[in-house]
Structures are given as structure tokens and as C-alpha cells.
Amino acid sequence: MGPQLIYLILLSLFVVLGSSVQHECHEEKCRHHGPVVRFPFRLKDRHQQHCGYPGFELLCTQNKDTVLELPSPVKASIKDSNLPFSVQFSIKEIDYKNQLINISKVFGCLPELIRFLNLSASPFQFSDAYSDNFTFFNCSKIKRDNLYYLHPVTCLSSKDYDVYAVYSEFPLYEFDLQSCSKMFDIHQSIAWIVSDSLIPCELEWSRPSCRYCESTGKHCRLKNDSSILHGTECYSSKSEGSVPKLRVAGEVLGPFLAVFLAIASYWIYSSIKLKKEIELKIEQFLVDYKALKPTRYSYADIKRITDNFIEKLGGGGYGTVYKGNQVYFPEWIYNKLEHGEEIAIQIEKEGDNKIVRKLTIVGLWCIQWYPVERPSMKVVIQMLESKETPSMPRNPFTSTNGMQNAATEHGKLFSRDLEIISESE
């Protein structure tokens, strides 16, 4: 579990918090002075499903009208079309206490649409105060004397004929229906569908019943109980502030936060434990391989070894790599002796400098390029026991043509005869 995963978890928590606050069931409006939309209604694309009761979905038009759309359960033939249709009512006001919807207008020709509309399939019904039965007649365009009880329906009329609606309860012989034919009847309809004036019209609903909640100054909502299908309950509308938001956020984020803290705690514990185990392994390795432990260098040492960081070899995740630690010791010390320079080796006693020089020269003799120029062990012992420092050999790091006797070229290096050593010594 790395920092990236922790970041993703935190981001998801903030997203859940934002969505929980955003998806609360606030009151909404399509326009500033439009009707307030809340339970049992919900606005499409603004409220979640649980914010409204089934069948109580409203929508906002491009003109910001609040619209109730009631679909027809059957296909209808309207103006040479045979397609499913819906009737859209523009809502002026919603009376939540009395459970009434005040309709301001209808989109389309309602007398033609309403005969196909089956309100029994919806939770709404027209208020009884406005219901009547009407009969519609198609009449040729002639001058009629008595139009008092004949209600012209302009949305169904054309240039060739007029359509009139009359109350079905009135005797037909009292009307001037010359050159007219009956079209259809509409039962329990509303009076204003046959008038050009906007007579008030209302739809009412009986379920869900939220009258008690509204009468006590509270609001209604769905119960959070899966055992009751579409059950409702009252709640105080005044408490819709920061406290419920925090409560909702706590309910949503609580489990996520608990899981996150558990994962984070385990990750921290595992990281600390793993780090300690690695440190113990390193310490144990240094104890077991004390003689092979790595050497630590200061910055000044590294700067000198790399010749002031002149040659760069490359780089990687651990930094830049420079070329250094490539001097061949025998060649280096031969050059020092050949030029008469001091050997850069720390000696505790000054008298040991001569011994170091002698040992170095003997070692250079022993690594001569040609085997015939290398002294035997007998000669090496003589060189080491001699009080004089042996002469410098030829450069053992360059080959020459032919094999020459080093003794003749450099003079007498040492005596061929060993001194007799008594056994008592």
C-alpha cells in the first residue's frame, strides 16, 4: 500500500461525502416563482429516486415550466399518427396540505388527448368540482342562431368545419345541430377543456397520504424500512440544516473511514516492522562478515578518488556514477620509487621506512615480466637479510625484446653466496 493508494482512498471518501450531501432531498423549483417540488414529488434529473413516491415525477421544460406528464396506456390515432402519446399539464401550484395540483394549461389539444387518457392507471384524478360529461359534434360552417349552449372547440376545428361540445345531460333537440355529426363522448371530464378561457382545474391524489404530516407543520418522506413497501413517515422540516447533513455524512462515511483507518494502521505497522527486520539483517550481516564490511569514505576522499569528478560514467536512481578506485598498486609504487618520491604509507616508527622500501623492491623483483629475471627463494632471503637496500629492478610492467640478465644491466644486485648461519643463531 503506497502513497498513491492512500490518495485514491482519500479522494473516494471526499467523492462519497460530496455525493451524499448533493443527493439529499432538497426542495427544488423550475423557476424562481414556480411551485415548490418536494415529496411525494421529485424533479427528474435533480432528485434521486428515493426523494419521490412512484408515479410522482415532474420535469422542467426549456421555458422553466413545471410539468406533470401522464402517459397513455394505449396507442392512439391522432392527426394521421398512430403512436404512444402523453398528456402534459403545466403546474401552477401544489397544495401539499390538501393534496391538490393546480393546473394552469395543457400542452396540446386536450379534448382530443383526454379521451385516450386513462387516469385510473395514475395516482391522480380530476377534482369532482370540475367534472361533467360532454358530447362533441362536427358541424359544417354555417351561420347558427343559438350558440349559447354550444361550446366551440377551436383546437379541433378547421377551415372546413367547426367542432362543438355540449353538455350530454341537455336534450339535443334544443340545440341548433343542423348539418352536424356526432364525434365522441367524454365522461367525467373537466369543463374547461371545451372553453378557450383558462377555467381553473385541479388534479388530486389520495396516496401517499401526507395530510397529517403537513397539518402538523412537518414534511413527509419514504420510510427507510425495506419490510414496508413505499411506507411513509413524518419528519421535522426545520431540522434540515447542518446537523442532518453531518448525520448523513457520518452514516455514509463511517464504514469507509473505519476501513481506511484499519488499512492505514496495518500498513504503518507492517512498514515499521519490515524496516526493523531489514535493519536487524544488516546489523547481523555486519557482525557475521566483519572483515568484509564496506568501507566508508568522506566527501573529500571520494573527490580525490574520482579526480575531482572528472569522468562521468552514467547515472540512475541512486545518483551519478563517476570513474575512480582504478590504480594498480605495484605500478603505482614502482613509479614512486623510480622518481625518488616518498611512499605514501603510514609507518609508526621512522626506522621502519627502510624496511618498507626494501620489502617493496624485493616484491618488484619477484613480479618481473620474464621468469629468468625473478630471484629464487635463496636469493630473496639473502636480499631481505642484507643490511643494504637492493637496487631497483627493471620496470616489470613493460616487455622488452629478448631476455637479458638483469644483474648485468643494473649492476651487481646482490651476492650469489649466502652467509653461513650457525645453528646456534
Tell me if 247 is assigned to some domain: yes
Tell me if 301 is assigned to some domain: yes
Tell me if 220 is assigned to some domain: no
Residue with cell 382545474: 201
pTM for this predicted structure: 0.48
Min mean pLDDT across 51-60, 255-264, 265-274, 348-357 is at 348-357
Claim to verify: residue 364 and residue 396 sit in the same structural domain: yes
The rounded distance, in Å, linking the Cα atoms of 266 and 11 is 20
The parent domain of residue 378 ranges over 329-410
Claim to verify: residue 287 and residue 299 sit in the same structural domain: no
Claim to verify: residue 355 and residue 397 sit in the same structural domain: yes
Output DSSP code: residue 350.
T
Q: How many domains does the chain divide into?
A: 3
Claim to verify: residue 289 and residue 246 sit in the same structural domain: yes
The residue among 127, 70, 131, 134 whose CA lies nearest residue 102 is: 127
pLDDT tens per residue across span 32-72 = 999 999 999 999 988 888 899 998 999 999 999 999 988 76
Tell me if 164 is assigned to some domain: no
What is the structure's pLDDT at 92? Answer: 92
The residue among 99, 68, 88 whose CA lies nearest residue 205 is: 99
Tell me if 305 is assigned to some domain: yes
Claim to verify: residue 288 and residue 358 sit in the same structural domain: no
What is the structure's pLDDT at 153? Answer: 85
Claim to verify: residue 375 and residue 402 sit in the same structural domain: yes
Min mean pLDDT across 113-117, 364-368, 379-383, 406-410 is at 406-410
**Strand duo 42-43 + 219-222: pairing:** unpaired
The rounded distance, in Å, linking the Cα atoms of 358 and 338 is 14
pLDDT tens per residue across span 199-233 = 567 889 998 999 999 989 899 998 876 556 778 89
Mean pLDDT of 323-332: 75
Claim to verify: residue 342 and residue 379 sit in the same structural domain: yes
Tell me if 3 is assigned to some domain: yes
Which of 271, 304, 322 delimits the end of a domain?
322
